[in-house]
Structure 1
Amino acid sequence: MNETTWLVEIVIDEHDSDEGGSRTRAQARLRTRDTRTFVGSGLARRNPDDTEIPEIGEELATARALSDLAHQLIEATAADVETATHSRVHLTG
């Protein structure tokens, strides 16, 4: 069995929003075995009327960053397959 490990680094920062409340930004960084780097980004905004619970913004921004990262990996994979096979790829499910 071959096993490969990829580590994703999540960097989160929060700052006050000009409209009130706060904004949380997360970046999910992945460096692949072939040394490509992908960075997914996600944002969350707390309404000024909502209770301040930083973990909620961090989780939501991180989920969105990971989703963005996943979409980038799917697109990169499709491009790699098209380059290798010289034909259009339709990735499903």
Structure 2
Amino acid sequence: MTNTLVGWHIEVEFAEEGAHTAAAVLLRLPDGRELRARGDTSRHPADPEQERVGEEVATARALQALARQLLDKAHEEIDDLGAVPSYPL
């Protein structure tokens, strides 16, 4: 058995405006498809400014949305094979 190294790249971009932070993620898959998702967060006015924390929360939310899309894509591909139905969460 030969081990083949396969990698996927995820790009993350941020937009910050005042207390609001948005993250956009892009995943390019080997089959040529691209999956995109967004995540947002807002800092409470009483909290100190910490850009990194807003970026982390917004990115985590975007990655959760991306994970859902990736699971949906995988389940569709399993179901298209027709042998055994998948069981999406």
When normalised by structure 2's length, the TM-score is 0.90
Which residue in 1 is equivalent to 2:14?
12
Cα displacement (A) at 1:87:
4.7
1:19 aligns with: none
Q: Percent identity?
A: 31
Amino acid in structure 2 at the alignment position of 1:33: P
What RMSD in Å do the two structures reach over aligned CA positions?
A: 1.4
Give the deviation of 1:85 after TM superposition: 2.0
1:41 matched to which residue of 2? Answer: 38
Matches for 1:42-61 after TM superposition, within 5 Å: 42-61=39-58
Q: Describe the SS at the equivalent of 2:74.
A: helix
2:80 pairs with 1:78: no
How many pairs were matched up? 87
**Gap regions ≥5 residues in structure 2:** none
Output the amino acid matched with 1:14: E
TM-score of the superposition, structure 1-length normalised? 0.86
**Structure 1 unmatched runs, 5+:** 17-21
